Chains A and B, each alone.
Chain A
């Protein structure tokens, strides 16, 4: 099946720093989503980004489908950005979503 790899697995930063999270995938996909899982377990949709670049406030994402990777940028980090960031790709007629292992981000004050 399709493989999704995220890096780095863990990232610890000071408030105000910028970060880049990477997602590599092994095959052609219908779509790619980025999620933030908060400490209570809620998966929050950040981006739905099959290709191209999108921005939402301090967050932006770029997917290069032909090279099978996506990047999530977080600028001017805040402590509320802490949590686990998952990349997930859709395939098999878009019915299935396969998750990467996640990047655990800790923002210290």
Chain B
């Protein structure tokens, strides 16, 4: 298995909803990432997990809450989002000791 999967593909939520994004990989990669990408912009790093521990938080608002329950799974819990949080959310993973990252297909989020 050489891919990163993400669910759901699309998500529409209200500002009072709580939802979660899921990312999974079975490549044995121990570094996992969340990125946010707005239209016509490059991806921007949000969080990095290394060996299931949060190692980098790029000053992301607390309404985004990441979780890494095991070495294959990465979640992003969403609560009280704003319309400006609408974006493509990309997950990536990397084998430790190497720097090449592999990306999932993304979740396109719309906040109403």
A residues adjacent to B (C-beta < 8 A)? 30-31, 33, 35, 40-43, 45, 48, 86, 88, 90, 94-97, 99-102
Instruction: Check if B42 sits within 8 Å of A33, measured CB to CB.
Output: no
B31 is contacted by which of A33, A35, A95, A102 (Cβ under 8 Å)? A95
Interface of A is mostly: strand
- Residue ID in chain B nearest A48 by CB atoms: B100
Please, which residues of chain B bring their CB within 8 A of the CB of A42? 103, 105-106
Please, which residues of chain B bring their CB within 8 A of the CB of A40? 105
B42 is contacted by which of A31, A48, A96, A99 (Cβ under 8 Å)? A99
A96 is contacted by which of B37, B45, B105, B106 (Cβ under 8 Å)? B45
Interface of B is mostly: strand
Please, which residues of chain A bring their CB within 8 A of the CB of B37? 41
Please, which residues of chain B bring their CB within 8 A of the CB of A96? 45, 48, 56
Please, which residues of chain A bring their CB within 8 A of the CB of B101? 33, 88, 90, 97
Please encode chain B, from 96 to 110, with 1 for each CB lying within 8 Å of some chain A CB and 0 for all others.
001111110110100
- Residue ID in chain B nearest A49 by CB atoms: B100
- Residue ID in chain A nearest B33 by CB atoms: A97
Known: A40-B105, A41-B106, A101-B42. A95 touches B100 (CB 8 A): no
Q: How far, in whole Å, are A41 and B108 apart by their CA atoms in the complex?
A: 9
8 contacts between A and B (CB under 8 A): A41-B88, A41-B90, A41-B106, A45-B100, A86-B42, A94-B99, A97-B99, A99-B44
Please encode chain B, from 13 to 24, with 1 for each CB lying within 8 Å of some chain A CB and 0 for all others.
000000000000
B residues adjacent to A (C-beta < 8 A)? 31, 33, 37, 41-45, 48, 50, 55-56, 88, 90, 92, 94, 98-103, 105-106, 108
Q: Which of B50, B102, B108 has most chain A Cβ within 10 Å?
A: B102
Please, which residues of chain A bring their CB within 8 A of the CB of B88? 41
Please, which residues of chain B bring their CB within 8 A of the CB of A33? 100-101
Q: How far, in whole Å, are A102 and B102 apart by their CA atoms in the complex?
A: 18
Closest 3 CB pairs of A and B: A94-B99, A99-B42, A90-B99
Query: Shortest Cβ distance from A28 into chain B, in angstroms?
Result: 13
